[in-house]
Chains A and B, each alone.
Chain A
């Protein structure tokens, strides 16, 4: 089915470990986004890519890096995981920055 695919779905890391969350969309969308969701906090934007070749910081970028590998793929990297990064991470995409987003099913990350 067309949509946004995130991998992995679940991950447990030890403090200080690194990992990359993968996101791919097959809808030929231009814009892609990474959000984190924490209880009572809603969705907070980490980074986004308005178009291939560009990336920008969102509300909570500290501790994260991103790569827009091509038009389809937008990865999120944690270089040195911290317990505060325990969260559910969602990737989303949109045809333009003005349209509704299509979300992936999320990655539940626990840092111990």
Chain B
């Protein structure tokens, strides 16, 4: 079965600084990978996804993520964080066949300070 680890529970960055949120997955074949963002009191919104092809994927709100098969990672990055990026971020992994539901990591809470 697939699994996802987000090693950082909480990260604080200064506004304007760069951001990297880590995600490691476990799955024997090529996974489908996703990043979601959850603002306080809201549902989850899809930021970006990786199915195949170019290992660097662009998403909404200026985010990008890079799939590294050798490291079983799919880290989320943003070059310059805005205060509105403060939220919880979830990485998720799915199988590339069938209808097996996504498995989510436990999330990383991002705080942004002035």
Real complex partners, A and B? yes
18 pairs, A vs B, C-beta closer than 8 Å = A33-B101, A40-B106, A42-B90, A42-B106, A43-B104, A45-B103, A51-B99, A90-B43, A97-B98, A97-B101, A98-B32, A98-B51, A98-B94, A98-B96, A98-B99, A101-B44, A103-B45, A104-B43
Q: Cβ of A41 and Cβ of B106 under 8 Å apart?
A: yes
Residues of A within 8 A of B9 (CB): 40
Q: Cβ of B99 and Cβ of A103 under 8 Å apart?
A: no
Considering only residues 98-114 of chain B, those with a C-beta below 8 Å from chain A are 98-107
Query: In the assembly, what is the distance between CA of A90 and CA of B90, in Å?
Result: 14
List residues of A whose CB falls within 8 A of some B CB. 4, 31, 33, 35, 40-45, 48, 50-51, 58, 90, 92, 96-98, 100-106
> Which has the most chain A C-beta neighbours within 10 Å: B100, B101, B106?
B101
Q: Which of A41, A58, A100, A105 contacts B101 (CB 8 A)?
A: A58
Query: In the assembly, what is the distance between CA of A44 and CA of B46, in Å?
Result: 17
Q: Which of A35, A41, A100 contacts B46 (CB 8 A)?
A: A100
Q: Cβ of B106 and Cβ of A101 under 8 Å apart?
A: no
Q: Cβ of A100 and Cβ of B49 under 8 Å apart?
A: yes
**How does the 8 Å CB contact mask read for B67-110 relative to A, with 1 for contact and 0 for none?**
00000000000000000000000100010101111111111000
Question: B25 on the interface (CB 8 Å rule)?
Answer: no
Q: Cβ of B100 and Cβ of A43 under 8 Å apart?
A: no
Residues of B within 8 A of A43 (CB): 44, 90, 104
Residues of A within 8 A of B99 (CB): 31, 50-51, 96-98
Residues of B within 8 A of A100 (CB): 34, 46, 49
Residues of B within 8 A of A98 (CB): 32, 51, 94, 96, 99
Q: Cβ of B49 and Cβ of A45 under 8 Å apart?
A: no
Min CB–CB distance A36 → chain B (angstroms): 11
Q: Cβ of A105 and Cβ of B98 under 8 Å apart?
A: no
Q: Cβ of B46 and Cβ of A101 under 8 Å apart?
A: yes
Closest residue on chain B to residue A97 by CB atoms: B99
Min CB–CB distance B112 → chain A (angstroms): 21
